[in-house]
Amino acid sequence: RLFTHVFNASGPLHHRRPGALGAALTDDRLTVTLIADGVHVHPAVIRLVWRAKPAGGVVLVTDAVAWRSARSSDRGVAHVDGAPRLPDGTLAGSSLTMPEAVRGAVTAGVDLADAVTAASTTPAALLGLADRGAIAPGRRADLVALDGGLRVQAVWCGGALAAQPPAGNGE
């Protein structure tokens, strides 16, 4: 049902041996998760994934890790070229936030409504959370208000204002 981190740390998509990536992109029963930061997956490949999957077939994820923690530093994790990396350059998760993931998908050419759905409605449905993922009667009323640059302006949880960043700081 779910293919985790499509194109991340996987073998290449080969025209004679499509393998797991070929199945992930062509089997409509599978939902794929995607790290849309332009580091884990190139913007052109982000567009490819969206074109290959039916509506509701993509879930945006962050793969965020606490790379600044003492435990991460003990392992030599450092933020290099837009992502946490091990000393050999291997990606070690991400520092991506969900608003940044939505912005990354939109910047790559994904429709804003599709990117927001992939960050909210689709994952809630996949997890069986019928009270989340959309604003409708009987739902929790979790909502994030974004400005034109897709930066967070306010957050509501259960219908109550939970956070509002200081002016000029929208993440």
Residue 133's alpha-carbon distances to 6, 136, 138, 144, in angstroms, are 22, 9, 12, 11
The shares of helix, strand and coil residues in the chain, as percent rounded to the nearest 5, are: 30, 20, 55
The verdict on whether 114 is a catalytic residue reads: no
Nearest-CA neighbor of 43 among 99, 95, 101, 92? Answer: 101
Q: Are 112 and 59 in contact (CB under 8 A)?
A: no
Residue 121 CB coordination number (10 Å): 15
Q: Are 106 and 114 in contact (CB under 8 A)?
A: no
105 vs 110: CA distance, rounded Å: 5
Of 27, 28, 37, 63, which is the active-site residue? Answer: 63
Nearest-CA neighbor of 152 among 85, 116, 100, 104? Answer: 100
The set of catalytic residues is: 63
